[in-house]
Structure formats: C-alpha cells, structure tokens
A = this chain, B = another copy of it.
Amino acid sequence: MTVCTFDKLVIIGVGLIGGSLARALRERAGAARCGRIVGVGRSRASVERALALGVVDEVAALDDDAGLAAALAGADFVLLAAPVAQTQPLLERIAAFLDTQTIVTDAGSTKSDVVGAARAALGARAAQFVPGHPIAGRESSGVEAALPDLYVGRNVVLCPLAENRPQDVERIESLWRATGAIVSTMSHEQHDRVFASVSHLPHLLSFALVERILNTPDAALKFSFAAGGFRDFTRIAASSPEMWRDVCLANREALVDELDGYTDVLARLRAAIVAGDGAALEAVFARSREARRQWQERGAQAGVPVGLAPK
C-alpha cells in the first residue's frame, strides 16, 4: 500500500467525496502518516457536522479571511470537492492565501472546464493545480455518507497540466493511492470524451426516455406495464437534475459529439427496421452483446476496478 505523508490537508466541501478522502487517510491502516485535516465550508455551520463526526480536525469558513488564511497556511494539499461550477470562484477565493508549495486538486466529473477555470483563476500559478476525478458512486451524499473504503478499487483519473511539476503530480497520485484507488492519467480532452461516452450520454438518454413517455397521451398506461428493462435503463434518471444540468453544460462539446454519433447509430438502426433488414439488426445486437459480455467478464476478474464489476 502507498503511504502518503503530509502535515496538512485542506478539504473544501466536506461531503461524501471530501469526507471519504479524510476518513480513508486516517482510518485505513497504514494509508497515511497524517497531519491535520481541515474542513472548509461556505460557513462554519456547514462544516460543523464533519468536525463533530471527527472526519476533520478543524474547520474554517470561506467568508472569513483570517480563518481561511490560517487554514491554508502550510497546507500540503487542497482538495476542491464542491460542485464543479464553483471551481473558478473557489480558486479565485483561495488564490491570495495559497502557499507556493501547496498542491491543489479537485474532484469534478468534467475536466476541460475545470482546466479553463484554473487558468483563469490562478494564471501562472495554475502549475500548482493538478485536475482530478475520483469515479465514485454518488447515490448518497453528505458527510454522514462518507466511508473510509469508498475509493478502494475505484478509478481516479488525473489530467495533469503541461505546467505541473512531475513531483506534484506524483504527490497527488500517492494521496489517492493511499485511499486504495487505482490512479490513471490522461489529457483533459480525452477524459471528457471518455466520460461523455460512458457516463454523461447514458444519463442524458435515460432522462430522455422518461421524458418521451411523459410526452405521450397514454403515459400512465405505459408506466404501469414498465418492468425490469425499463427499471435498469432508467435507474440513472433518478440522479440529481442540478448536477446533470451542470455536467451537460460543462462538457457540452464532447457530449454533443457523442450524442451526434449516437443519433447516427439510431438512424442506421431505424433504416434497418424500416427495410426489414433483420441481418443488419442482428449484427449490431450481437456485436453489442458480445462487447458488453467481455466488459462484464473483465470487470469480474480480480485486480480490476470495482467500478467495472457486475453488481
């Protein structure tokens, strides 16, 4: 196991993601030689719960200059674990208090927009910012849901900037590895294409199916005969409308590309149905089933990310 050593970690937004990082570093045997963990929230009240639960050692409020300065002084790491749309204002807020040796990272599920926000907010000091994305479940939220083993076997993707120092990227890697996560790096463009494809688009498609049914006069009858296929397909339509609105807009370029490619596939399938071309349909369905089966089998093997394993 990677041991991560630090004197101070500052977590801005101590919910499921930030709280689980804190708990992992402190509670997993041998994960880290921990210094202080400081929780920062919009107000002190918003982080008191994390303090009461013992997830963080001390707290500070974003709107308190002196408290924020003290919190950030001498920090090894700062993790932004707030909604991705807040990245730029948060970085602007902390920029003046940031020590030159502090490494900042984030947990946002889109990365090109975050890179833009970091360059806009930090200028040349964006070199201190290593963009990151832990791929962890978000069905529950809040610090009460934080778990020390949330990241075990999960993927964390880092999207280093050209100006990041290699040793800083390695330090962020060691921070996440200490939680039990599997760390990969790729460009932010590639990250956004990958997640547009396997996460953002399916969410959009799932919401869209329910919307389509609602738009028809016999919606109630349809829902009353919906069964297992509908349930699985629309499980992700139970996700947060606000979060997915932000993701769709933050990653609009890659998402629209994926959507257009998908719409082309639908047009091809529609043509095959209209033409009665069973062979073309069966070829697509068989290829998809086989790829999906292989994906599931790879995930069921030991040593690959839990995110890939069948539930």
Contact = CB atoms under 8 A, between A and B. Distances in A.
Contacts of A235: 232-233
The secondary structure that dominates the A interface is helix
B287 A273 contact: no
Interface stretch (A38-46, A110-118, A197-205): A197-205
Contact of A256 (B194, B262, B274): B274
B206 A233 contact: yes
A291 interface: yes
Given A238-B292, A248-B281, A289-B237, A222 B207 contact: no
Given A245-B278, A249-B276, A311-B228, A208 B286 contact: no
Nearest to A202: B233
Given A233-B236, A263-B263, A263-B266, A252 B274 contact: yes
A261 B216 contact: yes
Interface in A172-212: 186, 190, 193-195, 197-199, 201-212
Contacts of A209: 201-202, 205, 262
Given A230-B202, A235-B232, A245-B281, A288 B225 contact: no
B289 A273 contact: no
A296 B208 CA distance: 17
Nearest to A201: B209
A233 B232 contact: yes
A168 interface: no
**Which of A193, A233, A270 has the most C-beta atoms of chain B within 10 angstroms of its own C-beta?**
A233
A94 interface: no
Among all A-B residue pairs, the 10 with the closest Cβ atoms: A227-B307, A241-B285, A210-B288, A198-B226, A241-B286, A202-B233, A245-B282, A207-B288, A232-B235, A245-B281
28 contacts: A135-B227, A155-B225, A155-B227, A190-B221, A193-B218, A198-B213, A199-B226, A202-B233, A207-B285, A207-B288, A208-B265, A208-B288, A210-B287, A210-B291, A211-B284, A211-B288, A212-B261, A215-B261, A223-B295, A223-B298, A225-B307, A231-B310, A233-B233, A234-B288, A238-B296, A241-B285, A249-B276, A256-B270
